[in-house]
């Protein structure tokens, strides 16, 4: 397997972080994947975007939580998508994206939509973490910092040779 130069994890959070963080209760709007995937993606102006940009723009306009795993140094130049969803459901827009760019596939788990490498998740994301306290976290960045500081992740980064090459980018999308 080709060794990658770096691993970038991008987490995009929309809506109420407390609901996504497991504090929203059973009525959280992000619990039902089918409902989230049925949301309309507004976008009536034609834009040329890389797949990651089209994905983030789609999540933003559909107000859906999710993230992207991008492994840099392991793939060819980014494919540009002609992005103009014109009110189509998020599921259909995501299907079009991965048909255009075979490097990615999308997944959905409890209403959280992720764009991941088609060949599989990087090994670091398969690391099991025993416990990370998130209850009082008000921002997604603080949760990511706690995850990256967990003993399991520190050990896995060292074992995989990613200690200095992992970057996590987190930003909210309104």
pLDDT value, residue 90: 97
Please name which of 116, 126, 117, 122 lies closest in space to residue 152, comparing C-alpha atoms. Answer: 126
Q: Give the C-alpha separation, 87 to 43, whole Å.
A: 7
pLDDT value, residue 133: 82
How far CA 69 is from CA of 8, 24, 28, 42, 136, in Å, comes to: 6, 25, 25, 24, 26
Q: What is the pLDDT of residues 82-139, one digit of tens each?
A: 889 999 999 999 999 999 998 899 999 888 898 988 988 888 888 899 988 878 777 7
All domains of the chain in start order, with CATH: 6-122 (3.55.50)
| One-letter-per-residue 3-state SS of the chain | CCCCCEEEEEEEEECCHHHHHHHCCCCCCCCCHHHHHCCECCCCCCEEEEHHHHHHHHHHHHCCCEEEEEEECCCCCCCEEEECCCCCEHHHHHHHHHHHCCCEEEEEECCEEEEEECCCCCHHHHCCCCCCCCCCCCCHHHHHHHHHCCHHHHHHHHHHCCCCCEEEEEEEEC
pLDDT value, residue 144: 79
Q: What is the pLDDT of residues 42-96, one digit of tens each?
A: 988 889 998 988 998 999 899 898 888 876 665 556 778 888 999 999 999 999 9
pLDDT value, residue 4: 52
pLDDT value, residue 88: 95
How far CA 46 is from CA of 40, 43, 54, in Å, comes to: 16, 8, 11
- pTM (predicted TM-score): 0.73
pLDDT value, residue 94: 97
Segment 145-151 shows an average pLDDT of 85
């Amino acid at each position: 397997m080709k060794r990658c130069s770096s691993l970038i994890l991008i987490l995009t959070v929309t809506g109420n972080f407390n609901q996504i963080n497991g504090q929203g209760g059973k009525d959280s709007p992000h619990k039902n994947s089918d409902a989230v995937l049925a949301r309309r993606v507004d976008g009536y102006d034609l834009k040329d975007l890389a797949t990651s940009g089209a994905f983030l723009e789609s999540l933003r306009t559909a107000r859906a939580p999710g993230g992207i795993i991008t492994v840099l140094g392991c793939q060819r130049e980014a494919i540009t998508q002609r992005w103009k969803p014109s009110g189509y459901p998020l599921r259909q827009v995501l299907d079009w994206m991965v048909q255009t760019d075979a490097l990615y596939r999308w997944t959905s788990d409890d209403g959280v939509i992720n764009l991941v490498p088609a060949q599989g998740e990087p090994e670091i994301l398969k690391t099991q973490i025993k416990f990370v306290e998130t209850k009082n976290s008000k921002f997604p960045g603080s949760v990511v910092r706690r995850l990256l500081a967990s003993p399991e992740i520190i050990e896995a980064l060292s074992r995989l040779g990613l200690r200095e090459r992992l970057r996590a980018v987190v930003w909210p999308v309104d």
